[in-house]
Structure 1
């Protein structure tokens, strides 16, 4: 019997002493990335797009600030958006995962080296409801008719490995705030010594 691949939530270790804290992404010209001024009209720049599992075209350079400044980490998050050092980009290339991720350049305050948003390019319907601690769904009574039947909350996330296929990094459909990696990627990141990354099995 072939052992199932194990999967892990990849997240930011917020308890590293003296670590940096990256701000919400901003456009390089100083305007918030939550909005774009064009002929007095405002076009929303929704950071949720980084959870949609598709290649993005970002027209304006993005910069991040540190509040407070601190130790730079090779993997961290700015309001849930994964930010990685160029060493992580090279690492994923060595693993042959270029088709599963997009790296979007960003500028980080007081940093001269390249940094990137990690944009996972797959969303997979794989949550194992029966094994999760709790799942809640949007219902008709919640006043969000477009979301009826979708996940409202997931506690103790578990995925069904048989539904994942060959993916090594992805968001689970319906709960895309979570970034998941395969055991292969987890072990490789740990061996590589990528700073800032933590894992919990799902």
Structure 2
């Protein structure tokens, strides 16, 4: 439910178990569904820089005293530049997931059309919900926080630049 790109009501207390021990990261994708889990500092940055685009839900992480949040990205934007993207694969009608026919299975060289982002600062893509796209200023704020368990790839402009 946290990766569907829709506004949610408060799910109540959430407990996350740690699968791999080590230092907690400030931003990770957890579990099979790749649910975004962030530190309090990252959560604050997202709420400040993309207030209408995300919801934060507190999550208790077992054996960790720090505060963490699940990020629910509620903005979904139709802005994929299919002609400018590379490695585009679609789900077919005879795919094991027929309900996804016509959606993107994978895009290795994703490009978006910035003029179609509707002013979103953090969003998921319509028909391809794998990545979370953030504006440059959000990316820079997260990089200043550091200790991220994620990486960023530019999705605008010339891919070779």
**Do both share a fold (TM > 0.5)?**
yes
Structure 1 unmatched runs, 5+: 1-48
Q: Do the aligned residues in 2 keep the contact of 1:88 with 1:194 (CA within 8 Å)?
A: no
Cα RMSD after superposing both structures:
1.8
The structural deviation recorded for 1:90 is 2.2
Distance 1:50 1:93, change over 3 A: closer
Distance 1:60 1:136, change over 3 A: same
1:160 aligns with 2:113: yes
The structural deviation recorded for 1:132 is 1.4
- How many residues are paired up? 152
Indicate the larger mover: 139-148 or 150-159.
139-148
1:87 aligns with 2:49: no
Query: Which is higher, the Rg of structure 1 or of structure 2?
Result: 1
In 1, distance between residues paired with 2:96 and 2:21?
Answer: 41
Structure 2 unmatched runs, 5+: 156-161
Look up the match of 1:185.
Answer: 138
Look up the match of 1:78.
Answer: 30
Which structure carries more relative contact order (alpha carbon 8 Å, separation 6+)?
Answer: 1
Q: How does 1:2-17 map to 2 (within 5 A)?
A: none
Give the TM-score, by structure 2 length: 0.84
SS in 1 for 2:20: coil
Q: How does 1:51-62 map to 2 (within 5 A)?
A: 51-62=3-14
Q: How does 1:22-101 map to 2 (within 5 A)?
A: 49-79=1-31, 80-95=34-49, 97-101=50-54
